[in-house]
Structure 1
């Protein structure tokens, strides 16, 4: 046998042995669980079965897999659907990120398992980001909620940034920090929690009921405001009512976007919502149109909340 043939034989033989190890691991998993829906990060013993199956799908998709191997994997019940496979891989990265950060409110630049998990989470939170098939989208949302019930803060009426800082505050307190010591400059995983906390106390009245409730469980109270003398002729008191109206409109918008998976809202549309146990009819189409025309009067947080729900002009 020539040297070239010996090298070729060894390469082929090694590749075949590697494939058989993967197949044996897949067979053991199938025999134990009854299926081959293997999480991407799963190790069967010490063998990286989840990654091996992902490699097989890529080979199959490229048309480079021998038919005998494809038939053998078919017999085991492999899921060839590449969209589901990609979601499973990214979900594995999301689980890894959650294990480290305690939240899926990852910044866009976040990575895990060599995947851009922050950008992926940003993409799937957008309307239609979980796919066009309602059944599949619901299942994927449930899988994400199993990792972090608050994976999509927009449905709750606040931003990913707010959620991440809230989790950071809770983590600092759990580690023994005192609220009085969390001042601007105190950070958690790169975020300035102290500066954020100062804003929450200052703008407490602009937060929705659930945000206030969550902060209260951590002991956060609104900042004490110095009383100001009213201007001559009296002041118009509408800021509180305006904040409440914005919160109701935002809740109606989040409900609509989650149900319809789109942000195009007919002007005449009315959305029925429940706030604090009371039902309201929100003239959602008019509300969105009015805020678009007066967007220069919205504050930074309100614009961020609208943008998180997919409102492009925000």
Structure 2
């Protein structure tokens, strides 16, 4: 049996989490390899079937094994799938075609709030990149032609309002003439860092494309938020696609290693339709079904999900 066939069969078999832990997994923050189990895995399907449990329109809430570093207390998923498996999973995810317009209203509310924070720090604007831009929603609402978006996917280009969205491989793009070294005044990455299996390499590239003094805006789940502490193992940010659970201190320490200094960190809500909030809460407590009937279900609320936004300056 060749390696390709063996890998394919492994993706179709129920996940054996201990078998994935082939070597000590050093902590992203301090390098320590001694960890304590925090929450056992709640996903026991196959790697091939994992796409149905990723991102906003997941079938149910699930996560991998979550541990706490014995050295610095950093919380992360360990073991994890391979980088290639995460690439395949994300490549197989597609949003439903019949999404309620309330989701667009929710994204607009959130992007408006995030955009206001960006403009407060950079009233004169500048050249920027929205990394992990999805369908370009932030770019359309922010409406600044000096910005571009990047999303992982098949190589291509498309428009998002007055901006351009480029798709492809991040490492290839960030080292190409399309994105010269030290060319950006700022970079936004909303709900991106926690998903990156190659986070060290990816953040090094973020620093490389920013000018000295350029700003990095990053939102991530905050494992020390009031919501996370109150909900414990039922915190709705404990998800199969989330690999790193930062606190303000651990994110600042990680980014300092890559040449960033923290300017500000704040809590931000996650705007969502009432029906989506109800569905996610039901999933959290092991209930099935979705909610989506009537005008009330489409009302958008700023939900306290335990998310923080940090602003960092490139040294």
Q: Same fold (TM over 0.5)?
A: no
Q: Radius of gyration: which is bigger?
A: 1
Q: What TM-score comes out, normalization by structure 1 length?
A: 0.30
Which structure features the higher share of helix residues? 1
Higher relative contact order (CA 8 A, sep 6+): 2
Q: What TM-score comes out, normalization by structure 2 length?
A: 0.30
Which structure features the higher share of strand residues? 2
